Amino acid sequence: MTVFHFLNCAVLTFGPHVVYYSATPLSEYDTIGTSVKAAVVYLGAALVKLVCLATFLKVPDANDSFDPYQELMKILIGFIDVAGLYFAMTQLTHRNISQNHKFQAVGLGWAFADSVLHRLAPLWIGARGLEFTWEYIFQGVEANANLVMTLSLAALGSLMWLRKNKPKTLIPIIYACALLLATMPSITSYLRRSLEWQTPKVVGFELFSSLIMAFISWQLFSACQRPM
């Protein structure tokens, strides 16, 4: 029964990535290589992030309140992710795939690697236990929100770095949205730690904000697609 629960949670956590890959044209153009490369870049970025976190941040105490300086450092370190995405999208040579598919493949690989790295081990250890908690279900929902968020960020990234002729008026909006998306992990951490939101509320917020951001990104993306 508990293995059943574990499988359920695993499907909730990793299923959407698979579904996304197989449902969208990504599967038809066989972009798995790009996704794998993005995942490898993610691993590298995560390593760099770990080193930076260990170097620049002090060990948080249990009763530590929200420290603005520390959080600022965290946000800055969080931008390593953006740098990684940039690297994955512009520096790596990919097989000839369209920009459209490229950002999706990179975002998908990125989000999948993130899920595997952050959620697989707790899931394996925790969800097989006899004790029932909602924790792993929320974690799965969080993985979904993260996928949407990463895809949005990748879409904005592709607008910023790959598309040359975009409407001038939209550029500040694109940058603002990308900034917002990149600071999203810090925002949720702020909500959780400083405002002491409970997990369901935080996850709900993440889900909601990711959908909003996805919608905005989609609008921006299609606005840039239009011939000028």
Partner 1 sequence: MPPSGEVLASVSSALAVLLLLLACVELGDAAAAVGVYRLIQYDLAGAPLGSRAAALNHHAAALPLPAGADLSRSALVAPLLDLPLSFLREYLAEKKHLGGLLILLPTNLGAKNGEVSSDDKGQPKSVLAELEKLLVHEEVPFPVYFAFHDDNMENLLADIRKIASSGQPASASTGGYKLIVPSAEPKKVSSPTISNIQGWLPGLKGEGDAEQLPTIAIVANYDTFGAAPALSVGSDSNGSGAVALLEISRIFSRLYSNPKTRGKFNLLFGLTSGGPYNYNGTSKWLRSFDQRVRESIDYAICLNSVGSWSSDLWMHVSKPPENPYIKQIFEDFSDVSKEMGISVGIKHKKINVSNSRVAWEHEQFSRFRVTALTLSELSTPPEFLESAGGLADTRESADVESVMKTVRLVSESLARHIYGLRGRNIDVFAEDSSLAISPHYIRSWLDLFSRTPRVAPFLQKNDPFIAALKKELSEHTADVHVQNDVLDGMFTFYDATKSTLNVYQVASVTFDLLFLLVLGSYLIVLFSFLVITTRGLDDLINIFRRPPSRKVKGA
Residues engaged in binding partner 1 (CB under 8 A): 1, 4-5, 8, 11-12, 15-16, 19-20, 22-25, 28, 124-126, 128-133, 137
CB of 9 to partner 1, least distance (A): 9
CB of 83 to partner 1, least distance (A): 29
CB closer to partner 1, 67 vs 135: 135
CB closer to partner 1, 137 vs 182: 137
CB of 136 to partner 1, least distance (A): 11
* 46 within 8 A of 116, measured Cβ to Cβ: no
Task: Specify the residue for token string 């798995």.
Answer: 32
CB of 25 to partner 1, least distance (A): 6
* 158 within 8 A of 28, measured Cβ to Cβ: no
**Tokens at 91, concatenated:** 């520096």
**Of 76, 60, 66, whose CA–CA distance to 190 is shortest?**
66
**CB atoms inside a 10 Å sphere around CB 205:** 17
CB closer to partner 1, 128 vs 193: 128
Distance CA 43, CA 107 (A): 14
CB closer to partner 1, 100 vs 186: 100
